[in-house]
Chain A
Amino acid sequence: MKVKRGWAHHLLLLYRYLKNSMPKIKSKILLIEDDPDQVFIYQTKFNLEGFNFISAKNGQEGLAAAQTKKPDLILLDMIMAQTNGLEVLQNLKNDSKTKKIPVVLLSNLFKKDLVDKAKNIGALDFWSKTGVLPSELVDRVRKILK
């Protein structure tokens, strides 16, 4: 039995076509990390992969950037000299402007209680810096943003 499709269906098809034919809008990634060497690596990688990549070197700058630049995803280093990553995460989730932005924690300190705490506060995931290479990181970010 052939289903008869109405005008709404045609409108949807048009939207899909238009969307696919338009040039892709670059996803905006915010990395909050205090080690310039690491920022340098990720910056290079994400730019090459066609992301709009911005970074902040401490929690305060990160919060400001999250509010004004409205990134699609935030990568947050767990241990920084002046602020604890978890505090930054808490602030992000407390702020109505930023609370919907997905946050992934990056850290070399991979401990179960920290992971649980972070997820309770609202982190999407918790990745180990040495466990996830830059190319894998890009893949995972893409998957989340899809």
Chain B
Amino acid sequence: MTIVSIPPLISSLAFLLLGVFILLKNKKSAINLTFFLVCLVTFWWQFSWFILFNLKDPVWAGLIVRIGYAGIILIPVTFFHFFLNFLEINNKSDRYFLYLYYLISAAFEISLFTTNLFVSGYYHYSWGYYPKVSLLHPIYLLLLVIISFRIIYLLYLFLHSKGKVAAYKYPQAKYLLVALIFYTLSASDFLINYGIEFYPLGFIFILIFLGIIGYTIARYRLMDIRIVMRQAFVYVGLVAFTYASFYLIATLYFDFFGEIYSLQGFILGLFVAPIFVTILFGVNRGLLFIANRFFFYSLYNYQETISRMSRQLNNSIDLQKIIDLIVDTIKSTMFLERAGVLLVDQAQTPVFYRIAKVIGFNEKNGISLVQDNFLTQYLEKTQKPLVLDELDQLARDARLNKDKKSFEQLRTNMQKIEASLCLPLLLKNKLIGIIVLGGKISGDAYSKEDLGLLTNLSYQASIAIENARLYQEVKDFNKTLKQKVDEQTKDLRNQAEHLKKLLKMRSEFLDIASHQLKTPVSVILGTSSMFREGTMDQLPKEQQQKFMDNIFYKAKKLGTIINDILRASEMDTEDFQLAPENLKLISLEEVGQSVYKDLENGASEKNIKFELILPNKKLPQVMADHDFLEQAIFNLVDNAIKYTQKGSVALIFEALDDKIAIKVQDTGIGIPEADKVKLFGKFNRAANAVDMYTDGSGLGLFIVKKIISAHPGGQISFESKEGLGTSFTITLPIPKK
């Protein structure tokens, strides 16, 4: 085995390994399969050269160069096939070209083995044999250039019209483009086919291609391959370093000292080994650093992230905590700067989102984009994450002009607030909120796996949020329930209190009423018993007559008191009201005259001047209850006459601007200051009134007040000076016509 044959051996094996690895990852994927083909033909090519470079005898060289070229012929067409699949290009013309290229390649293969038109023989260079090409080869090169440009053009289109395929493919495509360019640089080897002698360095370029592909797989999940890249990178790096060191030392030793498998060689090895180990540690550390720096992408573990978050979510029913947890998990898993959760406020229509938590977004820009019915409907319909980069394509594909505008507006809004992803929070197909995410710190796109993880997380989050919400609702409900119960208890207590008061009022009323009733009864009983027992016979005639009069007046008084008590008890409610059917327009003159007639005699018996004064013009009618009003005026005039010893009593009716005044004026005993306050109260009698008559009911003015207050707009007032007289004034409004 010659040293010059080692590079093709390495690259061929590397391609074989990668190809098989990718194929095994997903045997059903056309992308993986075609990439495997690329690797296979490359392997074919390189492995053939490995054998070729080891040939000592030219007998086989003619055959081996042809076998090797069998692979080389297929390289362009397999690449084209792979890129068509990867870029998901299905247009007819490209597919026809593909088949055409396959046919042409087949034709080349045939000519390769049956004629000298493609390969005519071999060169024997200092480092080994190499194919010598012929007439058809330039045509092959021409086709290769065409295919290369076609692929590069397709990639260029892809990269400049985002949205045709999922966003996570852009970085993959970018890296593939670079890798492809490196691969094509290996075309430099073709010069050797035309007799220009230098060692074929194409293997360097294709190994770079391989490295880029590997990196793209590790970092961007090319072909959806996920490998725990960090460790692999470190191990592969260490192996490469060891190999390279060995190869370097061996080569140098060989060049300077000759045979390496000698005693001197082994002794040198003893010195070199410790140095090598020391350096190896440094390399290991450097590799780890690089891995951490460039391959952090692979650091999250899908299953573990989900199960950890589920576990944590289960531990909490506090809405805010749950939202914190969701945002933190997503932020740290995806390496984001901006994340936010918005929840639908269920109390409001149209849909209104409330910010539950926002990190990194400039709140000045608002998360206004989501106050948007279109987004809500779209997410509810698709139930999938919405990626900013896909909006262009969505807008282009939208059938309705309205939708197109909406998508464009949405894109503008998302760009404004620097959001890259809207993740629906769904529950029973209803949107309960949105998780809005910014771009990754690394600037990378969200991979297919990211979206899967986020979708999964969002399901968990939805359930947890809903649970917390329901719990909160129950809590709130309990709170309001307690409040309601408290309120009603208070109401009941107040009502009980009120009833107690009423009961007490009633019992007081009965007490006083029975007392007031019994007072004349006791006089009647006592006096009449003395007549029965014959006691009275011992008294002179006039005294007997006085006792008889007492019985008579007390019985009469009893009648009035009973009337007053009945009436007062009827009115003794807080909102005594007149029966609406009794409230009519009445003439006051008639009422005045009626009262006057009733009390005229009483006044003249006491030698008191009693006047009814009416205006010359007829009084306007007022709304009043005739009987009650007459009773009120009667009570006032009756009191006036009763408590006036000498002088006069006047009942005066006056029409004022908008009301009528009814005045009862007397020159009686007046009302003492102390009694004025409680004058209209129940069973209250002024001190000087009691001195005059002990057995008044104390209800007359109470009744008057109740009656007047029950009249709409009715008012009563009084002025009095003890010893000089009193004047009561009732006013009733004149109804507007």
Range for the number of chain B residues in contact with chain A: 20 to 34
Contact B523 A38 (CB under 8 A): yes
Which residues of chain A have C-beta atoms less than 8 A from B533's C-beta? 135
**Residue on B nearest A44 in the bound complex, by CB:** B539
Contact B530 A134 (CB under 8 A): yes
Partner of A109, one of B511, B550, B691, B695: B511
Question: How far apart sit A34 and B690, CA to CA, in the bound complex (Å)?
Answer: 9
Contact B529 A134 (CB under 8 A): yes
B599 close to chain A: CB less than 8 A: no
A120 close to chain B: CB less than 8 A: no
A70 close to chain B: CB less than 8 A: no
Known contacts A35-B694, A81-B690; is-contact A40 B550 (Cβ 8 Å): yes
Which residues of chain A have C-beta atoms less than 8 A from B546's C-beta? 40
Contact B694 A41 (CB under 8 A): no
Known contacts A44-B543, A108-B519; is-contact A37 B554 (Cβ 8 Å): yes
Question: How far apart sit A41 and B547, CA to CA, in the bound complex (Å)?
Answer: 8
Contact B535 A36 (CB under 8 A): no
Contact A133 B526 (CB under 8 A): yes
Minimum C-beta distance from A133 to chain B (A): 4
A45 close to chain B: CB less than 8 A: yes
A20 close to chain B: CB less than 8 A: no
Q: Is the interface of B mostly helix, strand, loop or mixed?
A: helix
B511, B554, B694, B695 pick with most chain A CB within 10 angstroms: B694
**Residues 62-79 of chain B, each 1 if its beta carbon lies under 8 Å from chain A, else 0:** 000000000000000000
**Residues 529-566 of chain B, each 1 if its beta carbon lies under 8 Å from chain A, else 0:** 11001010011000100110010001000000000000
Contact B526 A134 (CB under 8 A): yes
**Residue on B nearest A136 in the bound complex, by CB:** B529
Question: How far apart sit A38 and B543, CA to CA, in the bound complex (Å)?
Answer: 14
Question: How far apart sit A37 and B518, CA to CA, in the bound complex (Å)?
Answer: 13
Range for the number of chain A residues in contact with chain B: 20 to 34
**Residue on A nearest B520 in the bound complex, by CB:** A37
B521 close to chain A: CB less than 8 A: yes
Known contacts A44-B539, A109-B514; is-contact A37 B550 (Cβ 8 Å): yes
Which residues of chain A have C-beta atoms less than 8 A from B695's C-beta? 35, 37
A130 close to chain B: CB less than 8 A: yes
Minimum C-beta distance from B548 to chain A (A): 13
Question: How far apart sit A109 and B546, CA to CA, in the bound complex (Å)?
Answer: 27
B522 close to chain A: CB less than 8 A: yes
Known contacts A40-B550, A41-B530, A133-B529; is-contact A108 B522 (Cβ 8 Å): yes
Minimum C-beta distance from A3 to chain B (A): 47
Minimum C-beta distance from B540 to chain A (A): 11
Question: How far apart sit A107 and B518, CA to CA, in the bound complex (Å)?
Answer: 9
**Residue on A nearest B521 in the bound complex, by CB:** A130
Interface residues of B (CB under 8 A from A): 511, 514-515, 518-519, 521-523, 525-527, 529-530, 533, 535, 538-539, 543, 546-547, 550, 554, 685, 687, 690-691, 694-695
In the assembled complex, 16 residue pairs joining A and B whose CB atoms fall closer than 8 Å, in A order, are A34-B690, A34-B694, A38-B523, A40-B550, A44-B535, A44-B547, A45-B526, A81-B694, A107-B515, A108-B521, A109-B511, A109-B515, A133-B525, A134-B529, A134-B530, A135-B529
